[in-house]
Structure 1
Amino acid sequence: MYFKVLFMDAKNYHEDLSHIRSMMERSSRFISLSGLSGVFAGLSAIAGAVYVYFRLKREGIDYLDGDRNIFQPALIRELIWVAVIILAVAILSGYFFTATKSRKKGLKIWDATTRRLLVSFSVPLLTGGVFCLALLFHHLFVWIAPATLIFYGIALVNAERYTLTDVKYLGYCQIILGLLSLFMLGWGLLFWTIGFGLLHIVYGLIMHKKYK
């Protein structure tokens, strides 16, 4: 009987510790990120890449023919606008899926943790955005794709401290992909498709299965 009581006390103690850890995690980390938002962002990126591929076809450019691909400034600007539209769609869909998940869990989507997450994520991202605008200004177009992947990856790794730990692995993959693309300039569309498309889909599916 005495050992049974000790066992029950130990069990309750561990349950209390688990509950406390859960409460601390909820207060210090934004845990409502939806894996579906990653999947939708990836699909949007792939749809954009397909559009760009056939847009280049209309210009008489076969992107996958193995040649070094360097485009005219006017075409580059159009591609940038396509990227901006895809980014907007990804952000809006991410907010929708995340807000839906937060409501289901009874969690606030906007609090001090969310603000810290956004600041942590935005500083490297905005820095990278200004850097890419400078590249665009100086017509150094082939460097834009590697820069976007690298700075985006740094932003994800930097934001990991305020959200799901798994985010940093996506960030590491984006950084590695961006570094690889530095040695294959002119193939930005391909690396963008892999980084913002395929990697987001794989990450989103894993997160959806793990945290659903």
Structure 2
Amino acid sequence: MDTKASEDLAHIKEMMERSSRFISLSGLSGIGAGIVGLAAGGIASSIIANSGGKIDNYFYAEAAIPKLFGLGIIALLLALFFGCFFTIRKSKKLGLPIWTSNTKKILIQLAIPLFTGGIFVLALLNHQLYGLIAGTTLIFYGLSLINVEKQTYSDIKYLGLLEIILGCISLFWIGKGLIFWTIGFGVLHIVYGIILYRKYR
């Protein structure tokens, strides 16, 4: 009886977890996004160098800004693609629906800090404070991850905290902003993705 009761309790707990949290997030999504981040960081470094600017300057060469902006958009789209692709694949494997009330909550909770951060980044671009952009994106991204922690795996808050810490350090070491950005969006994503994949596969 004790064994049967334990199995029933475990089953009920699993059902509650499925209903209250978005568990279709795949570790492969993080790994894919991390690879995109590493590649984007390397390409950005090359763009800055080839445009006559220096990575450790407060103000990058004007010729590099449109290219870096375009690179950022492409990297974002690719990261979103990997996130959607592997998440949908895991949902099908688990037999879970994608579009649920939890999904809507996650999108809203992600959107608020990310949209606010996007406006702040536009202001930095307008004032040519390019050296602050890397740290700013890390901080607002970290805040968005912490904001959705209650709706998905709790482990995501640690990634968010690390992103915020990196972003804050970057603001005081502006000349190395691209390095911090590459670590945050590249290395940390890959490490987190591997941990998530091994823990929840």
Q: Are residue 17 (structure 1) and residue 14 (structure 2) matched?
A: no
Q: Are residue 113 (structure 1) and residue 113 (structure 2) matched?
A: no
Q: Which amino acid aligns with 1:113?
A: N
Q: Which amino acid aligns with 1:186?
A: G
Q: Which amino acid aligns with 1:139?
A: Q
Q: TM-score when scaled to structure 2?
A: 0.95
Of 125, 128, 132 in structure 1, the residue corresponding to residue 121 of structure 2 is 132
Q: Which amino acid aligns with 1:167?
A: I
Q: Is the 8 A contact 2:20 2:151 kept in 1?
A: yes
Counterpart-to-counterpart distance in 1, 2:52 and 2:114: 34
Q: Are residue 44 (structure 1) and residue 36 (structure 2) matched?
A: yes
Q: Is the 8 A contact 1:181 1:188 kept in 2?
A: yes
Counterpart-to-counterpart distance in 1, 2:67 and 2:168: 25
Gaps in structure 2 of 5+ consecutive residues:
none
Q: In terms of mean alpha carbon deviation, does 30-39 or 46-55 score higher?
A: 46-55
Counterpart-to-counterpart distance in 2, 1:192 and 1:149: 7
Counterpart-to-counterpart distance in 1, 2:117 and 2:54: 29
Gaps in structure 1 of 5+ consecutive residues:
1-8
Q: Is the 8 A contact 1:41 1:93 kept in 2?
A: yes
Counterpart-to-counterpart distance in 2, 1:142 and 1:60: 16
Q: Are residue 200 (structure 1) and residue 189 (structure 2) matched?
A: yes
In the other structure, the counterpart of 1:141 is: 130
In the other structure, the counterpart of 2:84 is: 95
Q: Are residue 56 (structure 1) and residue 48 (structure 2) matched?
A: yes
Shift of 1:120: 1.2
Counterpart-to-counterpart distance in 2, 1:182 and 1:58: 24
Counterpart-to-counterpart distance in 1, 2:42 and 2:141: 22
User: What percent of counterpart residues are identical?
Assistant: 50
Which structure has the larger Rg?
1
In the other structure, the counterpart of 2:199 is: 210
Q: Is the 8 A contact 2:134 2:180 kept in 1?
A: yes
Shift of 1:30: 0.3
- CA offsets 1:71-123 (integer angstroms, 9 cap, x no match): 03341232122111101100011100000011011011111111111111111
In the other structure, the counterpart of 2:157 is: 168
Cα RMSD, aligned residues only: 1.4
In the other structure, the counterpart of 1:32 is: 24
Counterpart-to-counterpart distance in 1, 2:175 and 2:86: 34
Counterpart-to-counterpart distance in 2, 1:84 and 1:183: 26
Counterpart-to-counterpart distance in 2, 1:60 and 1:147: 24
Cα distance, 1:75–1:59 mapped onto 2, change above 3 Å? closer
Counterpart-to-counterpart distance in 2, 1:147 and 1:111: 31
Cα distance, 1:126–1:142 mapped onto 2, change above 3 Å? same
In the other structure, the counterpart of 1:177 is: 166
Q: Which amino acid aligns with 1:98?
A: T
Q: TM-score when scaled to structure 1?
A: 0.90
Shift of 1:24: 0.9
Counterpart-to-counterpart distance in 1, 2:48 and 2:130: 16
Shift of 1:69: 5.1
